[in-house]
Amino acid sequence: MSRLLLCLLTLLPLVAHAQADLLLPSEIRASDAPDDTGGRITVTWRRTASEGPAISYVVSVAESEQGPYYRAAEVNSGSGFLTDAPAEFGRRASNADYHYAHVETYKVPADSARFETRAIQKGRVYYLKLSVTDGQRTVEAPTAVSASALANWFNWAKLNNFILGTTFSILILAFITVARRNPNLYIRKIAGLDAIEEALGRATEMGKPVLFIHGLAGMDSISTIAAVNILGRVARRTAAYDTQLRVSTNDPIVMAVSQEVVKEAYLDAGRPDAYNPDHVFMAAADQFSYAAALEGMMTRERPATNILMGYFYAESLLLSETGASIGAIQIAGTDSYTQLPFFVTTCDYTLMGEELYAASAYLAREPKLMGSLKGQDYGKAFLILVLVLGTLLATLGYNGITYMFTSY
Amino acid sequence: MIFLQRTLPLSIAFLVGMIGILTYYIPVWQDMEETFATWLRIIFAFSFLLGIYSLLHLHWNRIRRRNPGWGYSAFVYIGFGLTFLFAAYNDGKWFLEPQAEGGGLRWMFRYVQVPCQATMFSILAFFIASAAYRTFRARTPEAVILLIAAVLMMLGRVPIGAYIYEGLPTFAQWLMAVPNMAAKRGILLGVSLGGIATSLRIIFGIERSYLGGGEA
């Protein structure tokens, strides 16, 4: 009898402990998922003290409070904490005590063998229940919470980006206004742009054409717009010097814009008769076909000057090395950092990254354009300061600046 | 005329530019971004006709005038004609059906275009060698640094580098991961800020070179 009693007393805590594993969490809440186009509901709940590897939470959703409820999401007790999604829930210390689940779809039995997936609809009220399971037993919350998914008007996770972008834009516009009053702003020498005049003069003396090569990007690329700007200046000079200009593109819209720019440049220079639309052409639409066409042209026509401006890919070395082999003076400008080394080694002058964007301001010397360059430089100085400060503070364990500049 | 040539395009650029920026921050408007992207693809498809006309017109003039190298222009016509015929024939289903998997167009792409592209790409290896031969001469301090870094990188990437000195592959890795990455990020920083400034100039109509004609 005493042995039986001893066995019971030993087993009783184990049984009690096994029964206490499945505790229902508290503070169960449902709300519209933030920062999205709608179609998601977020459920959050406080973790319990009895979580373990076998414990998981199941979120069920219904279209009416009475049900039926369908399984929508499952979260293991060791994952799905609010700390895992700082973009949505912030970085409060208490986030480590809460779980979350996003509900976007749920499966409804269509027939005995198939399930139909339904998506959460915007604006409709849904009812959600949370249950805890260890694989063998399931305990469900007695009451449901409700929420509806809505499309949000602002993505709060991008607030830091919005503030920085707006500040930088205001800075640039302010400097443009300042530059209108004080037009004598300093801009450092850019050798590649100064050399354009020399290169065009060389082509004129040799009686050979100038070949202007656009990159592979379309008209929506900033580097192409910058290249078109430079093309306008080059065309004006070639019209004045009566030098042949060939412009190659691989995009029809860039070709149309380039034709217009060159035509207007020749008109401005008083040489509309010298303009030939066939000299501004689309060589090919495919990358290596473009390179092959231009290499053939360089080898046959042997231009004295090659100007390569825009966004380039692997064809950059093919073009520049062929140009170097025929003895042409080459000026390249690209914002593609992977191709810069090839241009630097094969071309006489290279405009790197933002030097290409600065071309319009450098060549025109207009106060409005110079002012934007100034604003850009101040913005860069600010970012460098933040980089240095942020690195120092992060090394010391303070990540505030890092979080402030994290992009989501 | 000024309205059509200047005012209207600048207004469209401003409106579309501002919508493009705002859709990044306003989730409700994200469908608009996809709509614009679809419109862009349609416009591009029509504009391709301009490019085809330009290409064919240019090469026709070369054939007609028997310019030096006019034979290559004839090849352009032959290639264009064959590709168009195979695309239109579409393995017997003609052009109103989706492109057939086993048709002549796919054959030309797989057995003509792809090998030609691979050939062009492989020429890069020789061009890199010739560019390196010309460039890696120790005439200036910068050239010396470039030469030393290039030699160490090349050795660090091949098995013989580890045989010469076991730390060489690690050093080559460090060279790419630290100084090279720093320079790359510096360029990217400048490019990103320059891109924002240029975009603002275009949106607010300060930069007008893309309209063609006149000062920016």
Q: How far apart are the first and last CA of chain A?
A: 67
For A191-357, CATH gives: 3.40.50
CB distance B213 to A267 below 8 Å: yes
Strands (E), A161-215: 210-214
User: A278 and B30: CB-CB below 8 Å?
Assistant: no
Mutate to test the interface with A, among B133, B188, B191 (most CBs of A within 10 A): B191
A268-288 pLDDT tens trace: 999 999 999 889 999 988 999
User: A286 and B212: CB-CB below 8 Å?
Assistant: no
Q: Is the pLDDT of residue A337 over 50?
A: yes
What is the rounded average pLDDT of the residues A108-126?
Answer: 90
Of the candidates A314, A315, A324, A276, the one whose C-alpha atom is nearest the C-alpha of residue A293 is A315
The pLDDT of residue A163 is: 94
The pLDDT of residue A23 is: 84
Cα(A170)–Cα(A336) distance, rounded to whole angstroms? 27
Residue B42 CB neighbour total at 10 angstroms = 9
The pLDDT of residue A20 is: 54
- B171 lies in a domain? yes
A353, closest residue in chain B (CA to CA): B191
Q: Look over chain A and give the mean of its residue pLDDT values, rounded to a whole number.
A: 90
Cα(A208)–Cα(A296) distance, rounded to whole angstroms? 16
- B199 lies in a domain? yes
pLDDT tens, N- to C-terminus, chain B (216 residues): 788 888 898 999 999 999 989 999 999 988 888 898 899 889 888 888 888 888 898 899 989 999 888 898 899 999 999 999 998 888 888 878 887 777 888 889 999 999 999 999 999 999 988 888 887 776 788 888 888 888 899 999 999 999 999 999 999 999 999 999 999 998 998 898 888 888 888 898 888 877 765 544
Same domain (yes/no): B111, B74: yes
User: A172 and B213: CB-CB below 8 Å?
Assistant: no
- B28 lies in a domain? yes
The pLDDT of residue A12 is: 54
Among B37, B67, B97, give the residue marking a domain's end. Answer: B67
CATH 3.40.50 residue spans of chain A: 191-357
Distances (CA, A) of A36 to A33, B19, B30: 7, 18, 9
The pLDDT of residue A11 is: 55
The pLDDT of residue B135 is: 79
Please give the model's pTM, rounded to 2 decimal places: 0.82
Of the candidates B216, B6, B40, B20, the one whose C-alpha atom is nearest the C-alpha of residue A219 is B40
CB distance B201 to B9 below 8 Å: no
| ipTM of the complex model | 0.86
Q: Using 50, 70 and 90 to split pLDDT, how confident is the model at A10?
A: low
Same domain (yes/no): B121, B181: no
User: B207 and A253: CB-CB below 8 Å?
Assistant: no
Same domain (yes/no): B124, B152: no
What is the residue range of B15's domain?
1-67
User: A285 and B200: CB-CB below 8 Å?
Assistant: no
Residue from the list A165, A318, A372 with its beta carbon closest to the beta carbon of B201? A372
Q: Using 50, 70 and 90 to split pLDDT, how confident is the model at A16?
A: very low
Cα(A352)–Cα(A372) distance, rounded to whole angstroms? 18
CA torsion sign for A77, A82, A85, A88 is positive
Q: Is the pLDDT of residue A103 over 80?
A: yes
- B216 lies in a domain? no
Same domain (yes/no): B147, B201: yes
* CATH class, A24-153 region: mainly beta
Among B67, B99, B114, give the residue marking a domain's end. Answer: B67
CATH 2.60.40.10 residue spans of chain A: 24-153
The residue that leads in pLDDT, B67 or A322, is A322
Q: What is the DSSP letter of B164?
A: H
3-state secondary structure A316-366: HHHHHHHHHHCCCEEEEEECCCCCHHHHHHHCCEEEECHHHHCHHHHHHCC
Same domain (yes/no): B193, B145: yes
B180/A contact by beta carbon, under 8 A:
no
Judging contacts by C-beta atoms under 8 Å, the chain A residues touching residue B201 are 368-369, 372
Of the candidates A266, A195, A252, the one whose C-alpha atom is nearest the C-alpha of residue A224 is A252
User: B27 and A263: CB-CB below 8 Å?
Assistant: no
The pLDDT of residue A331 is: 96
Q: How many domains does chain B have?
A: 3
Among B86, B118, B135, give the residue marking a domain's end. Answer: B135
- B120 lies in a domain? yes
Same domain (yes/no): B142, B131: no
B191-201 pLDDT tens trace: 988 888 888 88
Strand order in the sheet with A41-46: A29-32, A41-46, A98-103
Q: Using 50, 70 and 90 to split pLDDT, how confident is the model at A1?
A: low
Q: Look over chain B and give the mean of its residue pLDDT values, rounded to a whole number.
A: 87
Q: What is the DSSP letter of A394?
A: H
